[in-house]
Chains A and B, each alone.
Chain A
Amino acid sequence: MRPLTGQETGLTPPLCRILSACRMFMGLCVQYKDTMQIILPDRSVRTLSRASAPIEEILLELGINPTAVIVVKNGTIVPEDVTADESDEIRILRFSHGG
């Protein structure tokens, strides 16, 4: 994000720097607000830029068959047809075969 200039804002340079920092912080907040964390079976983390989506839809997008995994949303097991919202943590558990 480009820093603001005194010409654009009519403010002194220190105030421009403060305003730029605030703008960057707000930008990060907005970015975080619209993402959800998906912890995949191999424990890698995918961040999706989505405000809200049914978990089943997310799984299919990731090429995962919902019948072959268990979904844990914010620490609790849930059916795949529940919706994940922004800032939710979704953990996908794949069970190894055999046993």
Chain B
Amino acid sequence: MPGENRCSLCREPAVVRLIEPERRLCAAHFIEDVEARVLAAVRREQMVSPGDRIAVGLSGGKDSTALLLLLHRLLPSSGATLVAVTVDEGIAGYREETLKAAESLTAELGVEHVIVTFADLFGDDLDRLLTGREGQGCTVCGVLRRRALVEAVKRTGATKLATGHNLDDEAQSVLMNVLRGDLPHLVHDTSTGQPGHFVPRIKPLSVLSEKEIVTYLLLRGYFRDLPECPYAGTALRSEVRSMLAGLEHRHPGTMLRLMQFRDGVRRSARPTELAKALSTCRICGELTSGEVCQVCRLLGRG
């Protein structure tokens, strides 16, 4: 270890070593550093405006827990208000515990909490909707969950939706889009929203790695070792996750550089690239790239 493991700011024992700029931080200064970086990103990207009602997608897992804790601490000064929204997909042995964690957090913080269920919105819970196609769990759930969040946001009257996507998630998505040759998704920016369909989405945690988020939760006493989703890890994402974790260790800063690459591509891409591909679903009226949206197709409505 080069030198002593002491905080670069106060000489207390350090709990983390960070790069760009290279520094070691104690628990108190790491918490400050995390909050300052998130606040700087919120301001730089103009994620929040005075009067905004921000719906926080709260699954009860680590990222969304950190998101609500951070926004609850940082937003009062910006003149915005918070409401938490949770989607209960109906995944036995998984969702019960995270739902309980979400309810206990909103009660503790005094944040309004709205819960929508797959059973209410789509007629059945995920476990039953997946009967006979369990291998497609992540894909089916992803499509339905996005729609459920849109519905939850409508019910709350929120002006924006904040999600807990972290730096690892975002870098993985960039690499997956590159590997799939999917330029429209690579340049697609959800932060602007689609009037009448989607409110703008903001991702305040995209400047923090998964490891930094867990460290933050551990230090603030909010980390819970919750079960992993039984449908996780079947997709290309799990391969990309392992590959990127290895690259990040051997070449620190890889994930940040991937995000800079994506931003560069977005700036130079023509904005009409995706817009011309969108129309409305003839069954439910939501936006789609074809005649019938993915939700209606998955539910066998078309």
Contact = CB atoms under 8 A, between A and B. Distances in A.
Partners in one complex: yes
Interface of A: 54, 65-70, 76-83, 93, 95-99
Interface string B1-43: 1100100000001111100000010010000000000000000
A8 to B, nearest CB: 46
Tier of interface size on chain B: 35 or more
B15 A96 contact: no
A66 B250 CA distance: 10
B248 interface: yes
Interface in B111-147: none
B226 interface: yes
B211 A96 contact: no
B210 A76 contact: no
A54 B164 CA distance: 33
Contacts of B229: 98
B15 A99 contact: no
Contacts of A95: 62, 210-211, 214
B245 A99 contact: no
B232 A65 contact: no
A99 B211 contact: no
Given A66-B249, A83-B1, A96 B225 contact: yes
A41 B241 CA distance: 18
A7 to B, nearest CB: 51
B204 interface: no
Given A70-B214, A96-B225, A98-B228, A77 B5 contact: no
A32 to B, nearest CB: 25
Given A67-B248, A67-B249, A68-B245, A77 B16 contact: yes
A93 B214 CA distance: 10
B227 interface: yes
B59 interface: yes
B15 A76 contact: yes
7 contacts: A70-B214, A79-B16, A81-B2, A95-B210, A96-B227, A99-B62, A99-B226
B65 interface: yes
Given A95-B211, A99-B226, 7 more contacts: A67-B211, A67-B248, A70-B218, A78-B15, A79-B5, A95-B214, A99-B164
Given A68-B211, A98-B228, A82 B5 contact: yes
Given A66-B249, A70-B218, A82-B1, A97 B13 contact: no
B215 interface: yes
B173 to A, nearest CB: 14
Contacts of A77: 15-16, 27, 215, 218-219
Contacts of B242: 65
Nearest to B164: A99
Contacts of A65: 242, 245-246, 249
A95 to B, nearest CB: 4
Contacts of B61: 98-99
Contacts of A99: 59-65, 98, 164, 226
A72 B59 CA distance: 27
